[in-house]
Amino acid sequence: MTTANVDPAELAKFSSLAHRWWDLQGEFAPLHQINPLRLDWIDGISPLKGQGVLDVGCGGGILADAMARKGAEVLGIDLADKSLKVAQLHALEAETPGVRYRHVAAEALAEEAPASFDAVTCMEMLEHVPDPASIVGACATLVKPGGWVFFSTINRNPKSFLFAIVGAEYLLNLVPRGTHEYARLIRPSELAQFCRAAGLDLQHSSGLEYNPLTRRYRLSSDTGVNYMVAARKPPAT
């Protein structure tokens, strides 16, 4: 039986904020602000309409809901019950078609349903689990041959410590203090290694930059702090 790859303290942290997922001015406001950017980036690489997509670590469903509205059939999974209930309630209230949610670990679903999805997303989640390589491996197993896997996380370096932790958590109060633990942040080279070990080919990357003056995010080539990668599972031969 697969042991859940989860930190109870992290689950408790996000569960305590679950009722705030869809508050555009609340603790998850940055996710709402970057969501159009990451949605368009994903859709530009792997068009979502008509695709079966898995969102790993879906939280309150911000990305899952948006992908479903782009025409994908989306399954969002998470281990935080309260967040899933918020996601399900929002889907009902917003009458979002084509999205459902399930309480299951990525590794367990990989054993149950390998090669079942056209695309897999795992955004802002890897830095919150004890074994991120295991999540990457599960995502690789879950995607169909030729399909795409998308990750986003935070780099680990002095710049990211200054911007993502000191700046975002303590100076600008963009996210609650203690949201990120520096030692768990992931360098792009480390994520690339996880992907290669899982049999994924890295194809694209993009940085996400925040301008504190305009209070806006934009895509850039700078992966020094927040960044996204797109990896492809080789087609079947």
List, for residues 90-133, the tens digit of each pLDDT value. 999 999 999 999 999 999 999 999 999 999 999 999 999 999 99
Angle at 149 (CA atoms; ends 175, 161), nearest 5 degrees: 30
Percent of the chain predicted with pLDDT > 70: 97
Q: What whole-number distance in Å separates Cα of residue 100 and Cα of residue 5?
A: 22
Token digits of residue 3 = 């042991």
Which residues are bridge partners to 102 per DSSP?
Answer: 77
Return the H-helix or E-strand segment holding 195. helix 188-197
Mean pLDDT throughout 143-172? 88
- pTM of the shown model: 0.93
Residue 113 is classified by DSSP as S
Lowest mean pLDDT among 103-117, 134-148, 208-222: 208-222
**Residue-wise DSSP of 30-90:** HHHHHHHHHHHHHHHHS--TT-EEEEET-TTSHHHHHHHHTT-EEEEEES-HHHHHHHHHH
Which residues are bridge partners to 205 per DSSP?
Answer: 229
CATH number for the segment(s) 8-232: 3.40.50.150
Q: Is the pLDDT of residue 54 over 60?
A: yes
Q: Is the pLDDT of residue 2 over 50?
A: no
Q: What is the distance, to the nearest Å, from the Cα of residue 69 to the centroid of all Cα atoms in its chain?
A: 17
Which residues are bridge partners to 117 per DSSP?
Answer: 143
Q: What whole-number distance in Å separates Cα of residue 195 and Cα of residue 224?
A: 19
Residue 202: predicted pLDDT:
97
